[in-house]
Amino acid sequence: MQAELSIGRAVAPENLHLTLAFLDEQPEMVLAALHDELALITGPQPRIRIAGLDALGGAKARLVFAAVSPDPALVSLRKRVRIAARAVGVNLPRERFRPHVTLARFRQRQVPGESEKLAAFLAREGAFSLPEFMVADFALYRSTLTPEGPIYDTLASYSLAIGPDL
């Protein structure tokens, strides 16, 4: 789908993800304690269904994303991850959960014609969907911001059935 979008900076395939909680900068001690809490989280496994494409940012779009239907198990997993983060002292703001996968980002200053190309892309591809699939695990990532976009490093993975996989 990203190849169809001729504008913006595509997110590298290895960086595609769905954020359950943004933790901001945290000291190693907090991350170690969070790892222990996250390892306790088990099923049920969320069903993921991509349900269309959209953009965030209004007239000056900041990003294009694939919307994810808010499956009850996904909403529950997010809630448990946020509870675990708060239990170890991470201050998380209240925010509405709008599950999505970012496909491309745009610079603050738009290129002439970019808005029109984006509107045409969304009119053509906005109803995009994928077959539903199950998620067996989730991960704790560290993001490093670069001029080309964030780079994500997996710190730990957690099976929703059996616990952590380091």
Tell me the catalytic residues: 17, 100
CA atoms within 13 A on the CB side of 70: 9
Peptide bond into 44 cis (omega under 30): yes
Distance CA 11, CA 36 (A): 30
Please report, as a single letter, which amino acid is at residue 123: A
For tokens 């088990």, the residue is 42
Which of helix, strand or coil describes residue 93?
coil
CA atoms within 13 A on the CB side of 10: 10
